[in-house]
Amino acid sequence: MTYSQRLRAQKRLDTDSLMNWLARFSVHIVLILLSLGCLLPLVLIISASFTDEIALTRFGYNLIPAQFSTTAYELIFRNPTVILRAYAVTVFTTIFGTISALALMAPLAYALSRPDFILRKPLSLFVFFTMLFSGGIVPYYILMTQYLRVQNTLFALILPYLVVVYYVLILRTYFAALPAELIDAARVDGAGEFRIFISIALPLAKPALATIALLTALNYWNDWTTALYFIRDSQLYPLQYMLYIIQSNAQAMQLQASVGNISVGEIPTQTARMAMAVLATGPAALMFLIFQRYLVRGVTLGAFK
């Protein structure tokens, strides 16, 4: 290499590292902007919920409250029965539903992961074939309302997410990868199959179980469609459905008010609605932030294929 060649190479390296630095810098900028974009909705709703009602009407929705006020929350907490009821329904279905779902899915997944289970092949086909088709909402609606008759009960809210076949598939894969020696050893020590499942397989599968539990809990927490179809009793409204009802009532009342039929006084104010949305989303967002590492791990397990 001649001196001038080396010099040229050196120069290219310098510009390279500068370009590299610039490239990395701009990547960070883009990702920061995207992250802010993802956060924007929550900020917008939170800000609206802390804005004075009149200011919100006059100055519009903004990322920073035009005029700070906690009236919306005071209004809600002055008469908290509605939101507390909805909270109770949602918390109950989320906790009870998630536990039941794991209690159903984990044993099935474990059994299907055992190589010497005689029925493994036919049962796997029976379970996983359902991923390919769906009868859709209509037969399901008829089943729930005409045959199981669970409309307007808490069962209706819990039943739909008890078994998610895709989650069973993930759990089965995880159970199948557990070291066979441990299970054989327990068997030699005289532990029964159920005992092995409870005290060896389950603790070892904790990461996968945590991922599935989180996904299931979020399914229950964010569910409003089930109530849309099956819950007419306002005592049993879950949080998200209550939010939807408030919104669509307000929409209908505004329409009537604009025709001049009724006074606008009874509509929950815009800020109160936004405050409700904040209260309904808070726990789910918190759940997400605290356990998000399980979600990222869930991706490596193929939870979002």
Partner 1 sequence: MDTTLNQSNRTTSVASSERNRWAMIRGHKFRRNLVWLLMSLPALLWILVFKYLTLFGAWIAFTDFKVRRGVFGSDFVGLDNFRFLFATDTAVRATINTIALNLLFISGGVIASMLIAWLFYEIYTSRLTKFYQTMLLLPRFISWVVVGYFVYALLATDNGLINMLLRNFGLEPVSWYNTPQAWPLILLLTSLWSGMGIGSLIYLSGMLAIDTQLFEAARIDGANKWQQFIYITFPIIMPLLVINLLLSLAFILNADFGLFFQVTRNQPLLYSTTDVLDTYIYRSLIVTQNVSMAAAAQFYQSIVGFVLVIFFNWIVRRIERADEPLALF
- Between residue 174 and residue 203, which ones bind partner 1 under the rule CB under 8 A? 184, 188, 192-194, 197
Q: Which of 75, 108, 150, 210 forms a contact with partner 1 (CB under 8 A)?
A: 108
Interacting positions 74-103 with partner 1 (CB under 8 A):
103
Angle between helices 239-259 and 81-113 (to 10 degrees): 140
Between residues 50 and 197, which has the closer beta carbon with respect to partner 1? 197
Give the total of residues touching partner 1 (CB under 8 A): 105
Amino acid at 134: S
Q: Which stretch binds partner 1 (CB under 8 A): 80-88, 149-157, 204-212, 287-295?
A: 287-295
> Residue 206: which residues within 8 A CB-CB, separation 6 or more?
none
Q: Does 255 bind partner 1 (CB under 8 A)?
A: no
CA 66 to chain centre: 32
Of the candidates 148, 90, 17, which has an alpha carbon nearest to the alpha carbon of residue 281?
90
Closest distance of CB 10 from partner 1, Å: 14
Binding segment (CB under 8 A) for partner 1, from list 68-76, 91-99, 122-130, 255-263 = 122-130
Nearest Cα to Cα of residue 238 among 97, 76, 73, 79: 97
3 vs 304, beta carbon nearer partner 1: 304
Cβ neighbour number for residue 302 with a 10 Å cutoff: 11
Contact predicate 72/272, CB 8 Å: yes
Site string for partner 1, 213-252 (x = CB under 8 A): -----x--xxxxx--xx----------xx-xx--xx--x-
Q: Least distance (Å) from partner 1 to the CB of residue 92? A: 17
The stretch near partner 1 (CB under 8 A) out of 81-89, 91-99, 155-163, 203-211 is 155-163
Mask for 24-63, x = binds partner 1 (CB under 8 A): x--xx-xxx-xxxxxx-xx-xx--x-------xxxxxxxx
Q: Which residues pair with 300 in a beta bridge?
A: none
* Contact between 283 and partner 1 per CB under 8 A: no
Is 162 a binder of partner 1 (CB under 8 A)?
A: yes
Select from 22-30, 69-77, 80-88, 256-264 the region that touches partner 1 (CB under 8 A): 22-30
Of the candidate residues 112, 205, 231, 301, the single one contacting partner 1 (CB under 8 A)? 112
On whether the CB atoms of residues 217 and 287 are closer than 8 A, the answer is yes
**Virtual CA dihedral for 149, 155, 161, 164, nearest 10 degrees?**
-70
What is the DSSP annotation of 22-37?
Answer: HHHHHHHHHHHHHHHH
Select the residue interacting with partner 1 from 137, 177, 255, 264 (CB under 8 A).
137
Distance CA 255, CA 53 (A): 19
- Written as six digits, the tokens of 264 are 């606008």
Question: Is residue 142 within the footprint of partner 1 (CB under 8 A)?
Answer: yes
For 149: left if phi > 0, alpha if psi spans -120 to 50, otherwise beta; the answer is left
